Amino acid sequence: MIGLPPSLDRVIGLSGGALDVLMPMHLWADPEGRVVQAGPTLTKMARRGDLTGLSIFRLLEIRRPLRVDHVPGLIALAGQRLGLVLRDAPDLPLRGALTALPAGTGLILDISLGLSFARAVSEFGLTLNDFSPCDQTVELLYLHEANTATMALSRHLSHRLETARAAAEAQALSDPLTGLANRRAMDAAIARCLDDPTQEIGLLHLDLDLFKQVNDSLGHAAGDAVLERVGSILRQQLRHDDLAARVGGDEFLILLRDCTARDGMEPLAARLIATIEEPIPFQDGMCRVSASIGLVASVDYPHRPGIDRLLADADAALYAAKRAGRGRWSAHIPPPRGPGRRAGDAARVTPGD
């Protein structure tokens, strides 16, 4: 042996029981590598009963920093971080550190669970009492479980928020692009008006002309600019009590409350068409569209019409306006009440033009 003998006043004697308390996963081996004593937790993990006398190299495989299978090679690794496994559990990496005992009397190797601690605790059936109070493995397990639980809560929250957002969207009453009402809001507003027997309404069904050409030649951004512009025209031209909705790609419905005569609707329809026909600036150029309008008034009906009837008649009037050429309005006029044969519904289309 080369070197100084250890100074005797720095040497202490520890009983095997003391080692068990301080390092429940230790191995104490003699110079031939046979187990003198194994800590209780390591004994439990090895599942071979009393390990005394067994070769540590039959029990363990030292893998890092290099593979060794003899005591001098192992002692040369004293103080280094060791990677090792139990031969009976080769897929559960463990960590270790060893120190040589004085005067070549053997070695003590202390072991801990590696990052696979959760699996190791389960596979070896370990309990709280198997760990030294100084070993934080149990806290790691706690943290691991706490993380799992809080992650689940976060996922639930995200899922519920997503569901709520979808529900809110489905219940929304406005069209996000134009800020006008949407179909659902319009249907509800018409139904409320028709439920009130004192309320007479007018309905305009407006469809843009040439919108497809703008979309095709200048792109969807230009189309969106046109729709936004039409939205703002409708807001400006209507009274506070009226309601405009975008009910399709380039289709709009306008509800006029307290509309006691169809006569008042016709100038509004003509004004809307004229305003929409004004060129709409987009980037460096101008977009040009027009509009066709079908209109109906509840006062024209001998019997209070239902919402489906009104909408269908407004649609038929719009179709008549389209057929008559772009940029026109058309009014649907139901047949008057009376005896005799049914004359069939009439239509009044934009005069002149």
Residues engaged in binding another protein (CB under 8 A): 118-129, 138-139, 141-150, 153-154, 156-157, 160
Beta-carbon count within 10 A of 47 CB: 11
CA max distance for the chain: 132
Out of 175, 207, 209, 250, the active site residue is: 250
CA pair distance 54, 47, nearest whole angstrom: 13
Question: How big is the chain by its Cα radius of gyration, in Å?
Answer: 44
Question: Quick check: helix, strand or coil at residue 173?
Answer: coil
Query: Between 57 and 124, whose beta carbon lies closer to another protein?
Result: 124
* Rounded-to-integer distance, Cα 247 and Cα 178, Å: 11
- Count Cβ atoms below 10 Å from residue 228 Cβ, excluding itself: 15
Contacts of 353 (CB under 8 A, 6+ apart): 325, 327, 328
Residue whose C-alpha is closest to residue 47's, from 131, 128, 125:
125
Residue with tokens 């008042």: 264
Residue among 49 and 133 whose Cβ is closer to another protein: 133
Give the rounded distance of the alpha carbon of 200 from its chain centre.
46
What is the end-to-end Cα distance of the chain in Å, rounded? 119
DSSP 264: G
Pick the closer one to another protein by CB: 134 or 153.
153
Which C-beta is closer to another protein: that of 105 or that of 158? 158
Q: State the nearest-atom distance from the C-beta of 165 to another protein, in Å.
A: 14
Q: Are the CB atoms for 237 and 268 separated by under 8 Å?
A: yes
Q: Is 175 a catalytic residue?
A: no
Q: How far is the CB of 114 from another protein (least distance, A)?
A: 15
Q: CB nearer to another protein: give 57 or 131.
A: 131
Closer to another protein by Cβ: residue 123 or 263? 123
The least distance separating another protein from the CB of residue 27, rounded to whole angstroms, comes to 22
154 CB-near residues (< 8 Å, 6+ apart): none
Distance CA 243, CA 264 (A): 16
Q: Which two tokens stand for residue 205?
A: 């069904």
Residue 128 CB, shortest distance to another protein, in Å, is 4
DSSP string, 200-217: --EEEEEEEESHHHHHHH
Shortest distance (Å) from residue 122 CB to another protein: 3
Q: Closest approach of Cβ 142 to another protein, in Å?
A: 4
Between 122 and 260, name the residue whose CB sits nearer to another protein. 122
Q: Is the distance from CB of 204 to CB of 256 less than 8 angstroms?
A: yes
Length of the chain (residues)? 353
DSSP 38: E
Q: How far is the CB of 94 from another protein (least distance, A)?
A: 15
Q: Cα–Cα distance between 71 and 181 in angstroms, integer?
A: 84
Q: So which residues are the catalytic ones? A: 250
